[in-house]
Amino acid sequence: MQFHILFLPGHETLLPELQAISSAHTPEAMAQLRGPAGYDYSPVFDSSPYFFNAMHLRNIPRFVAAGGRGGNFRALACLLAFMLAAIVLVIATILLPVKRWFGRRSETVPPLAGSIVYFIAIGLGFMMVEMAFMQQLSIFLGHPVYSFVVALAGLILSTGFGSLVSDRLSLGASGIARLPALAVTIIIVAYSQAVLPVIHHFTPDVLWQRVAVSLVLVLPCGFLMGFCFPVGLRWMTRLEQESNLPWMWALNGAAATLGSFVAIVVSMETTITACVLTGAACYLLAAVALPAHGSLAMAPQREAAVQQGTAGI
């Protein structure tokens, strides 16, 4: 039919990309494939199933200099544009309310820096773990719709149940308030190590069995993740930060919005496992940053200073 043959096994090809691909005979060699024009020709695998993505962030300047054409470039540029917009909005959500505490007539209690970090970190961490769950389990379940129904619904249900049970946790000291975030860090790391062997073992099973396995993987993580937000709110109340709680809600929601884009970028640039571990690192940061009782020692002094300055006016 007069086709132009680009590659035929046993014959040489003039295309360098096809030469590199055909000369890779092991999974390790194929995993190292990178195209001379900036494209990624390595095969997809469970932790990186993005067959549609052949471009990495580091190659964007090269494609911009070449005119910025191609479907991969446009898709990645769109994703980065949304992520940049989310970053700007998160920064605005942090900085704009700060004006209240620099105004001499402000009577609000200054926020604790650790509380800002805590609520941003758990917002980012939750969304990165959620996105990783849906991306990885969609392969195991066989379709993204199944992942939405099983992974997302199971995560939301277990998170809500964890939030309900968290009321029984007595917050006698800052160490107790840190426990949920530390527990989430541990269980997410455990999930990241167990998920691939588990899904490889149960892949031949029928759908309902794979659904059950997915729920076993997701529910414990969601249950513990559900503790972090309400425990943080209760702990801020104990630290007399009630006036700042609406802002903490806003920071958490804004960070979660940003996290949805960050999760996609991290997964596509590295692996889904790296995305999960990044989420675990966010929860660890939250546990470390959560203010202790001692953090409140200067708050009355700051408030008194503000009131004194107002009286001076």
In this predicted structure, what is the pLDDT of residue 68?
63
Short-list 183, 192, 180, 216, CA closest to 132? 192
Total number of domains in the chain: 1
Range of the domain at 259: 114-292
Helices 174-202 and 207-238, interaxial angle, to 10°?
170
- DSSP letters spanning 276-312: HHHHHHHHHHHHHHS--GGGGTTHHHHHHHHHHHHHH
Inter-residue contact 307 to 299 (CB < 8 Å): no
Domain-embedded: residue 78: no
Domain-embedded: residue 188: yes
C-alpha distance from residue 204 to each of 30, 43, 99 (Å):
26, 22, 58
Short-list 118, 66, 55, CA closest to 247? 118
Burial of 283 (0-12, 13-18, 19+ CB in 10 A): buried
Short-list 170, 159, 81, CA closest to 123? 159
Inter-residue contact 239 to 295 (CB < 8 Å): yes
Token pair listed for 150 = 């099983």
Does the pTM exceed 0.85?
no
Q: Other C-beta atoms within 10 Å of 200: how many?
A: 11
Strand partners, 148: none
Over its length of 313 residues, how does the chain's per-residue pLDDT go in tens digits? 888 888 888 777 778 778 888 888 888 888 777 655 567 788 887 777 777 777 777 777 777 776 666 677 778 888 888 889 888 988 888 777 766 665 544 555 667 788 899 999 999 999 999 999 998 898 899 888 998 899 999 999 999 999 999 988 888 765 788 999 999 999 999 999 999 999 999 999 999 999 999 999 999 999 999 999 999 999 988 888 888 888 889 899 999 999 999 999 898 888 899 999 999 999 999 999 988 765 544 444 444 433 443 333 3
Domain-embedded: residue 84: no
- Sign, CA dihedral 40-43-48-50, equals positive
CA distance 39 to 197: 30
Domain-embedded: residue 76: no
* Matching residue, tokens 């990645």: 76
Q: Which residues, at least 6 apart from 135, have a Cβ–Cβ distance to it below 8 Å?
A: 49, 147, 267, 272, 275
In this predicted structure, what is the pLDDT of residue 95?
78
The separation between the first and the last C-alpha atoms of the chain, rounded to the nearest angstrom, is: 90
CA distance 286 to 248: 13
Domain-embedded: residue 134: yes
C-alpha distance from residue 285 to each of 150, 169, 185 (Å):
29, 21, 9
CA distance 304 to 244: 17
Spell out the SS3 assignment of 143-165. Answer: CHHHHHHHHHHHHHHHHHHHHHH
SS3 168: helix
Domain-embedded: residue 92: no
Inter-residue contact 122 to 235 (CB < 8 Å): no
Domain-embedded: residue 164: yes
C-alpha distance from residue 165 to each of 56, 121, 158, 168 (Å):
43, 22, 10, 6
**For the domain that residue 124 is a member of, what is the CATH number?**
1.20.1250
Domain-embedded: residue 264: yes
SS3 51: coil
- Sign, CA dihedral 183-186-191-192, equals positive
